[in-house]
Structure 1
Amino acid sequence: MTDKTKLAVGQEAIETFGWLRAHRFLLLRRASQAFFLVLFLLGPWFGIWWVKGNLSGSLTFNILPLTDPFIALQGLMAGHWPELTALIGAIIVGAVYALIGGRVYCSWVCPINPVTDGAHWVHDKLGLQKGWQPKRTTRFWVMGMVLVASVATGTIAWEFVNPISMLHRGLIFGMGFAWTFVIAVFLFDVFVSRRGWCGHLCPVGAFYGLLGSKSVVRISAVERAACDDCMDCFAVCPEMQVITPALRGKEGDTPLILSPDCTNCGRCIDVCAMDVFKFTTRFDDTHAPAREQRKRTQPATGASKAA
């Protein structure tokens, strides 16, 4: 731990680069999330039907079909072979996320992400403890149960409780029962489990993590030798466990963050005043020398910001 851990998260980057530079990827993500949401709302709200449907399945300009591959998988498990357009749409979406990183969906597209980010902000402002922290593998068990439920009921089971779909319905049709699920996710992350929904329970995130496990786009701690141990990257990362192998690796270890849990949100790049991180590809074999002869403290026990 250094004196810089006493600064507010991201303050050093703001002083070094300015507020806009220190929030660039956060702002881009919010713009991206708003863009996709508005595309789907143009039709119901203004009668501009460039895109019909929602994130589960849509048709753009009456030409391009896009289908959530997790929805398509549930349909297949339920015994329903999708129409050709839906199958093509699932292949297109699956291929894109397999290439750029499956959990990019979670941080750049999913409308629940601002909800859980807001919950995390409230959680920190209230100074609450981490709360219940189920194992991160729990979301894979939830995903498995969803698929089993689809087989047993012959339905796309997750859509009955999917907060993403519920949020869309709430925005289109107004306040109603659908908002209960969204509010429940918010309250769960504030009072029950810090970053609990996206980090531990959401089966959609689990599926997209598997889908993008070999994706090309990655973040690299290429300048990890310059790390000043401010711990800001751990504090802002929604999946902080992915940083340690890349940042704390020994000399010769890859600085690439290769874990499929990484959402490629870019916040570690934003808040790092030392420019340690950058977007690159999994084929980038640049190896910055790690600090030698130095014992590093693990973020879970040694950093007040990450705690």
Structure 2
Amino acid sequence: MSARSPRGQVSSRSLLARSRWLLARRLCQLGLLALFLIGPLLGVWIIKGNLSASLLFDQIPLTDPLLLLQTLAAGHWPYVTAWTGALIVLVFYALVGGRVFCSWVCPVNLVTDTAAWLRRRLGIKTGRTPDGNTRYWLLAGLMAATVLTGVLVWEWVNPVTLLHRALVFGLGGASLLIIGIFLYDTLIASRGWCGHLCPVGAFYAVLGRIALVRVSAHRRDACDDCMECFVICPEPQVIRPALKGVGQPHPLILSGNCTNCGRCIDVCDRDVFKMTHRFDQRSAQ
């Protein structure tokens, strides 16, 4: 069965062929949520905590490096387990890509992806998108507020943490924040939260600049300028240098803002893109 592209055009490939990376991401996101939830809900404790700080198999600590930095900024010295957990997470995302957290792990991505899909379906073109550097200014501001107050400011409003708590203890006030993000992305700014405002995305984008795993437009000569990859990509500005050879001779997407989501691989009928590593700078002959 043929599938429709993000722009409504009929594709020659099946829906499954155009959704492999999407399905993998959803399985990863929902699977991680299930691992966190079966403990408090069913008493099966594979992993305890949340995406900010957790313990795997009661042995392996996992700590959000941004939480560690906030703790230091607040004037507190973290426990050794927190340092160990942050190092594990840092090494992991330095290999696979910092913003893999945004597209493969973060549950809020399910909300913003739904908003992006609905925005395309409704044909909404209006709205005002913030400058791409806004999230970095917000990150700097939150860190400054933490230094001044001695309080982990971001953790009070972090939608990822609030969504985790809401799923376990009930939605409550957290639902208002999640609904607000959904409406903002749908009606006001395309990919506004994840692409322009989220401080966590800003932090992981910095880390992602050194990542080993990369998307490559290795068959860029086969591109027919259909623009499907630009339409579906949450960070479309990262594609052009690799696809069109603007400012770089190789086809790798090296921007830290790339989420390694595989959307461009899914939608491209010409098989222009593939997942590879940063040392694979060859173009297909």
Contact 1:52 1:60 in 2 (8 A): yes
Taking the TM superposition and a 5 Å limit, the aligned residue runs for 1:77-226 are 77-226=73-222
Match of 1:275 in 2: 271
How many equivalent pairs are there?
A: 282
Q: Which ranges in structure 2 are unaligned for 5 or more consecutive residues?
A: none
Match of 1:53 in 2: 49
Distance 2:48 2:256 in 1: 31
Superposition deviation, residue 14 in structure 1: 4.5
Residue 6 of structure 2 is aligned to residue 9 of structure 1:
yes
Distance 1:13 1:264 in 2: 25
Superposition deviation, residue 287 in structure 1: 3.0
Distance 1:251 1:73 in 2: 34
Deviations 1:100-137 (A, max 9, x none): 10000000000000100001111122221241111101
Counterpart secondary structure, 1:129: coil
Distance 1:124 1:205 in 2: 23
Taking the TM superposition and a 5 Å limit, the aligned residue runs for 1:260-299 are 260-288=256-284
TM-score norm. by structure 1 comes to 0.88
Contact 2:162 2:174 in 1 (8 A): yes
Distance 2:49 2:84 in 1: 16
Q: Structure 1 residue aligned with 2:230, among 218, 222, 234?
A: 234
Contact 1:13 1:22 in 2 (8 A): no
Counterpart secondary structure, 2:125: coil
Q: Which runs of 4+ in 1 moved over 2 A?
A: 7-14
Superposition deviation, residue 252 in structure 1: 7.4
Match of 1:299 in 2: none
Match of 1:66 in 2: 62
Contact 1:13 1:272 in 2 (8 A): no
Superposition deviation, residue 19 in structure 1: 1.3
TM-score norm. by structure 2 comes to 0.95
Give the counterpart letter for 1:83 in structure 2.
Y
The alpha-carbon distance between structure 1 residues 63 and 93, as it changes in their structure 2 partners (threshold 3 A), is same
Counterpart secondary structure, 2:93: helix
Contact 1:10 1:271 in 2 (8 A): no
* Identity, % of aligned positions: 54
Contact 2:7 2:231 in 1 (8 A): no
Give the counterpart letter for 1:220 in structure 2.
S
Distance 2:52 2:126 in 1: 32
Contact 1:216 1:282 in 2 (8 A): yes
Distance 1:230 1:129 in 2: 19
The alpha-carbon distance between structure 1 residues 13 and 275, as it changes in their structure 2 partners (threshold 3 A), is farther
Match of 2:21 in 1: 25
Contact 2:98 2:211 in 1 (8 A): yes
